[in-house]
């Protein structure tokens, strides 16, 4: 007789329980696999790119701007972030050090390790982890390096002897010196190596190296780091999934036609992120090249080992970047992590905080989290104001999103042991100068959602000014403490505040610099300073000091504006102020050099519609001094330099007069609908007596617009042309001045 089946309910229960346990264990395993181990926890990296404070120069030769780093790390921490990505050697222009005769790297740089330790110390204080990116595709940029350094970098990438010299003399000493530093998340070999790889390179005029050289370089660097610090994580940062996945054709970049405006937008966004100046045609050429390139994971373990021969030279996780080039086929915002067939956690380590592939910017971090990626790092503290279509809000949107991630996914973004109050001085503003020494109101904003604030103590340098135990104002979870400082002695001060909670946990604010002066200030007009380089014109404005100002329409670092002081009676620290307007965009950073030495990278911020003032303290010597603004981001209006009247005995001011006629190419070009035309009138030839004309013609030679028709003296001029009523096409503009006639072509794309 056949025995009938009777269910074993106990067995089914245990089977079901076991299944649920295995399912949970599998989900946990997948989650852990897609996280980055830091401080003993598997984290989703939630933060930003710095990516530098001084491009390629944070490791030397000068000390780092620690106040700026403190501001950035504190801002990330205060908004719930846990990670920053920082570039180190970048292009090799400042560090490491190279042998002048052989081109071999012979050291990390005189103060490189010291500078790095100082930066990491601040990061550790604020409990923010750092991905340290060694190199960037910029190491083969002809516009950034001289021929000797460019040649040395090519050899470093392609010649094992040169690679090993870098490893032996710079990399190993640096990694060994910070081994075990709790602020380090990982070492990154290179930022967007595809940008200097043959076939996927960004700029056709720059030299390239084959993909096999990039693989070998990555393998040898990773192996050296792993042997120097067995606990170190190593990654690298391809510019897209094209060189990080073997999946085809779903991840194949599209070559679908773009409208002129789409192409212009893509070009603008690309140039901002990569510090380049590609034309739309060069951008289209690049898109065509990558569209014809097969997707290949160059960084798969077996391929790296095969290229370099170092079994330890593999990566622990991947970083990848994403900027929309008219197709979503490589987008992490429309494809989950499983799409790419990768076996290592992958951090999306660069992207703009703007609406991307249909997703609003405040959803980008949560989307990457839900799609199974290991982190999200927005681009960037430096470029937030230049974010395409969101420059005004990108920074604040980033901070709000970091807060959202901490609130909703704390288990994956919160670093254990980081319960500290946050404190920041909100008034007065940094670099302010005051003439009234009777009193000053100082306000600190404090947040501590886990405990009660016991007191806030205010300092001027190391001297305690006073202590407040109760808030003067409350807004949501922020407490505002105000202290009145009275009977102030004129001078320069560094203000800070310390907040302590009832658990005896303290936090110090980022210091701000202020000065008190009872001396008058004198404006030294920018148009009378010594100007070197191109792209600067003198313009008139009745609201500007002296009725004129400099229109700086360039970011060429060779362009400078210099004032010279003769016979300063006493060395000391003096307040100096720059009058400016941010007509193009806000903010803009420029180098400030005092007596030929970099004194500051000054951030000019604020409204774009009014004249503003930025004040710093300058250490001037006895005798002759120079104050120079050197263009970094350029593109702003400069009105004057104000200095204490007491130090002025003589000012050497002269503006070079053009020695020849010239007509510059309009910028931007192609344009829609406005562009700018610069030209110069030579000295000694017109003397204001001859007629100057600048006219626009269509392709048939018909005059469509007269921009200039007047007598002009020698000098540099700038004229805006608005073509909103003209059709798209090719136009010509002709400058006539005396016997000088020159014509150039421009393209209007609507």
CATH 2.60.40.10 describes domain 422-516: yes
**Domain 521-652: top CATH class:** mainly beta
228-237 mean pLDDT = 97
Do residues 82 and 413 touch, judged by C-beta distance below 8 A? yes
Q: Which of 108-122, 247-261, 283-297 has the lowest mean pLDDT?
A: 247-261
Predicted pLDDT of residue 25: 34
Q: Which residue has the higher pLDDT, 603 or 140?
A: 140
Q: How confident is the model at residue 33 (pLDDT cuts 50, 70, 90)?
A: low
Token representation of residue 553: 């329409």
Do residues 194 and 243 touch, judged by C-beta distance below 8 A? yes
> What distance in Å separates the CA atoms of residue 47 and residue 401, rounded to the nearest whole number?
10
Q: Are strands 560-568 and 530-532 parallel, antiparallel or unpaired?
A: antiparallel
> What distance in Å separates the CA atoms of residue 656 and residue 659, rounded to the nearest whole number?
9
Q: Which of 126, 124, 116 has its CA nearest to residue 89?
A: 116
Predicted pLDDT of residue 683: 61
Q: Which residue has the higher pLDDT, 689 or 71?
A: 71
- Render 381-440 in DSSP notation, one character per residue: TTTGGG-TTTTTTHHHHHHHHHHHHHHHSHHHHPPTT----EEEEEES-TTEEES--SEE
SS3 call for 320: strand
Q: Which residue has the higher pLDDT, 702 or 5?
A: 702
- Centre a 10 Å sphere on the Cβ of residue 41 and count the other Cβ atoms it contains: 15
Could you tell me which residues come within 8 angstroms of residue 638 by beta carbon, excluding any fewer than 6 positions away?
526, 549, 550, 552, 561, 578, 579, 580, 629
Token representation of residue 700: 């048939």
Instruction: Say which CATH superfamily domain 41-246+296-413 falls into.
Output: Glycosidases (3.20.20.80)
**pLDDT at residue 137 above 90?**
yes
> Any idea which residue has 């110069």 for tokens?
680
- Centre a 10 Å sphere on the Cβ of residue 451 and count the other Cβ atoms it contains: 15
Q: Are strands 572-581 and 612-620 parallel, antiparallel or unpaired?
A: antiparallel
Q: Are strands 422-427 and 674-681 parallel, antiparallel or unpaired?
A: unpaired
Element (H, E) at 491: strand 491-501
Token representation of residue 455: 């007191």
Q: What is the pLDDT of residues 553-591, one digit of tens each?
A: 988 888 899 998 777 778 887 888 898 999 888 888 999
> What distance in Å separates the CA atoms of residue 694 and residue 708, rounded to the nearest whole number?
5
Q: Which residue has the higher pLDDT, 509 or 226?
A: 226
Q: How confident is the model at residue 541 (pLDDT cuts 50, 70, 90)?
A: confident
Predicted pLDDT of residue 690: 67
DSSP state of 295: P
C-alpha dihedral over 672, 674, 675, 680, to 10 degrees?
Answer: 160
Q: Which residue has the higher pLDDT, 31 or 376?
A: 376
**pLDDT at residue 228 above 90?**
yes
412-431 mean pLDDT = 79
Q: Which of 246, 225, 99, 130 has its CA nearest to residue 173?
A: 225
> What distance in Å separates the CA atoms of residue 359 and residue 111, rounded to the nearest whole number?
44
674-681, strands of its sheet edge to edge: 662-663, 674-681, 715-722
120-145 mean pLDDT = 94
Predicted pLDDT of residue 328: 85
Q: Which of 194, 219, 239, 193 has its CA nearest to residue 302?
A: 219
Could you tell me which residues come within 8 angstroms of residue 249 by beta carbon, excluding any fewer than 6 positions away?
none
Predicted pLDDT of residue 557: 85
293-300 mean pLDDT = 91
DSSP state of 209: B
SS3 call for 9: helix
**pLDDT at residue 162 above 80?**
yes
Do residues 347 and 379 touch, judged by C-beta distance below 8 A? no
Predicted pLDDT of residue 518: 60
**pLDDT at residue 720 above 90?**
no
**pLDDT at residue 600 above 60?**
yes
**Domain 662-748: top CATH class:** mainly beta
Predicted pLDDT of residue 248: 78
Highest mean pLDDT among 206-220, 254-268, 436-450: 206-220
Q: How confident is the model at residue 32 (pLDDT cuts 50, 70, 90)?
A: very low
Do residues 196 and 139 touch, judged by C-beta distance below 8 A? yes
> What distance in Å separates the CA atoms of residue 182 and residue 185, rounded to the nearest whole number?
8
287-291 mean pLDDT = 77
Q: At what angle do helices 112-125 and 66-78 cross, to 10 degrees?
A: 30
Judge if 422-516 and 662-748 fold alike in CATH terms: yes
Highest mean pLDDT among 187-191, 443-447, 462-466, 501-505: 187-191
- The rounded mean pLDDT for the chain is 85
Predicted pLDDT of residue 254: 44
Domain ranges of the chain: 41-246+296-413, 422-516, 521-652, 662-748
Q: What is the pLDDT of residues 8-17, one digit of tens each?
A: 333 333 333 3
Q: Which of 203-212, 335-344, 526-535 has the lowest mean pLDDT?
A: 526-535
**pLDDT at residue 252 above 70?**
no
Element (H, E) at 89: strand 83-90
Do residues 716 and 658 touch, judged by C-beta distance below 8 A? yes
Predicted pLDDT of residue 345: 97
> What distance in Å separates the CA atoms of residue 611 and residue 594, rounded to the nearest whole number?
24
104-130 mean pLDDT = 95
Predicted pLDDT of residue 253: 44
**pLDDT at residue 462 above 90?**
no
Predicted pLDDT of residue 99: 96
Predicted pLDDT of residue 520: 66
**pLDDT at residue 7 above 60?**
no
Predicted pLDDT of residue 526: 92
300-320 mean pLDDT = 97
Do residues 333 and 367 touch, judged by C-beta distance below 8 A? yes
Predicted pLDDT of residue 183: 95
**pLDDT at residue 255 above 60?**
no
Measuring CA to CA, how many Å separate 731 from each of 125, 267, 583, 723, 747?
58, 22, 27, 10, 6
Opening angle at CA 341, ends 322 and 406, nearest 5 = 55
The model carries a pTM of: 0.59
Do residues 507 and 498 touch, judged by C-beta distance below 8 A? yes
Q: For a pLDDT cut of 90, what percent of the chain falls above it? A: 48
Predicted pLDDT of residue 73: 92
């Amino acid at each position: 007789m056949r025995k009938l089946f009777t269910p074993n309910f106990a067995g089914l229960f245990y089977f079901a329980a076991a299944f649920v346990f295995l399912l949970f264990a599998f989900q946990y395993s997948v989650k852990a696999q897609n996280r980055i181990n830091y401080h003993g926890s598997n984290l989703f990296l939630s933060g930003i790119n710095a990516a530098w404070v001084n491009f390629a120069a944070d490791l030397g030769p000068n000390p780092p701007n620690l106040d700026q780093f403190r501001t950035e790390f504190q801002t990330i921490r205060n908004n719930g972030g846990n990670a920053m990505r920082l570039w180190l050697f970048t292009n090799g222009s400042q560090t490491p050090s190279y042998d002048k005769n052989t081109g071999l790297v012979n050291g990390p740089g005189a103060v490189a390790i010291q500078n790095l330790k100082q930066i990491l110390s601040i990061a550790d204080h604020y409990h923010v982890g750092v991905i340290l990116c060694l190199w960037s595709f910029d190491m083969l940029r002809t516009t950034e390096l001289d021929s000797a350094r460019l040649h040395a970098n090519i050899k470093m990438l392609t010649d094992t002897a040169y690679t090993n010299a870098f490893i032996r003399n710079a990399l190993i000493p640096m990694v060994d010196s910070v081994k075990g530093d709790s602020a380090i998340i990982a070492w990154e070999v290179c930022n967007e190596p595809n940008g200097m790889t043959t076939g996927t390179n960004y700029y056709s005029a720059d030299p390239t190296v084959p993909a096999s050289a990039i693989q070998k370089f990555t393998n040898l660097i990773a192996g050296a780091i792993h042997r120097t610090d067995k606990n170190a994580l190593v990654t690298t940062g391809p510019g897209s999934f094209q060189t990080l996945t073997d999946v085809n054709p779903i991840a194949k970049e599209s070559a679908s036609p773009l409208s002129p405006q789409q192409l212009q937008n893509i070009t603008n966004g690309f140039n901002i992120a990569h510090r380049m100046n590609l034309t739309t045609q060069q951008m289209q050429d690049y898109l065509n090249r990558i569209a014809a390139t097969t997707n290949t994971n160059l960084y798969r373990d077996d391929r790296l080992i095969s290229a370099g021969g170092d079994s330890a030279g593999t990566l622990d996780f991947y970083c990848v970047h994403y900027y929309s080039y008219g197709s979503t086929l490589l987008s992490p915002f429309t494809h989950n992590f499983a799409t790419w067939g990768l076996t290592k956690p992958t951090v999306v380590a660069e992207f703009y905080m703007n609406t991307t592939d249909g997703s609003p910017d405040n959803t980008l971090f949560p989307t990457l989290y839900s799609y199974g990626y290991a982190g999200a790092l927005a681009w960037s503290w430096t470029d937030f104001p230049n974010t395409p279509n969101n420059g005004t809000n990108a920074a604040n949107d980033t901070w709000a999103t970091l807060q959202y991630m901490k609130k909703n996914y704390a288990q994956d973004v919160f670093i254990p042991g980081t319960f500290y109050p946050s404190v920041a001085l909100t008034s007065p503003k940094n670099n302010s100068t005051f003439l009234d020494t009777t009193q000053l109101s100082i306000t600190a904003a404090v947040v501590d959602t886990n405990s009660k604030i016991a007191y806030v103590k205010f300092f001027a340098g190391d001297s305690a000014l006073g202590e407040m135990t109760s808030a003067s104002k409350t807004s949501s979870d922020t407490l505002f403490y105000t202290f009145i400082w009275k009977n102030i002695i004129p001078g320069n001060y560094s203000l800070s505040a310390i907040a302590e909670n009832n658990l005896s946990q303290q936090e110090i604010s980022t210091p701000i610099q202020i000065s008190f002066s009872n001396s008058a200030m004198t404006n030294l007009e920018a148009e009378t300073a010594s100007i070197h380089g191109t792209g600067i014109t003198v313009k008139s404005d009745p609201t500007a000091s002296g009725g004129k100002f400099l229109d700086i329409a360039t970011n060429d670092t060779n362009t400078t504006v210099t004032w010279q002081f003769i016979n300063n009676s006493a060395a000391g620290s003096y307040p100096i102020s720059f009058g400016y307007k941010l007509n193009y965009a806000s903010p803009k950073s420029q180098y400030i050099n005092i007596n030929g030495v970099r004194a500051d990278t000054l951030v000019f911020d604020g409204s774009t519609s009014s004249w503003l003032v930025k004040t710093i303290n300058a250490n001037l010597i006895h005798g002759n001094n120079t104050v120079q603004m050197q263009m970094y981001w350029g593109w702003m209006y400069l009105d004057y330099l104000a200095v204490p009247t007491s130090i002025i005995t003589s000012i050497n001011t002269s503006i070079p007069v053009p020695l020849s006629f010239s007509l510059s190419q309009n910028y931007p070009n192609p344009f829609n609908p406005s562009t700018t035309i610069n030209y110069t009138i030579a000295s000694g030839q017109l003397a204001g007596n001859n007629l100057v004309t600048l006219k626009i013609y269509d392709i048939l030679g018909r005059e469509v617009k007269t921009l200039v028709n007047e007598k002009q003296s020698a000098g540099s001029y700038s004229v805006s042309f608005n073509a909103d009523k003209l059709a798209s096409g090719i136009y010509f503009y002709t400058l006539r001045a005396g016997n000088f006639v020159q014509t150039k072509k421009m393209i209007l794309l609507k």
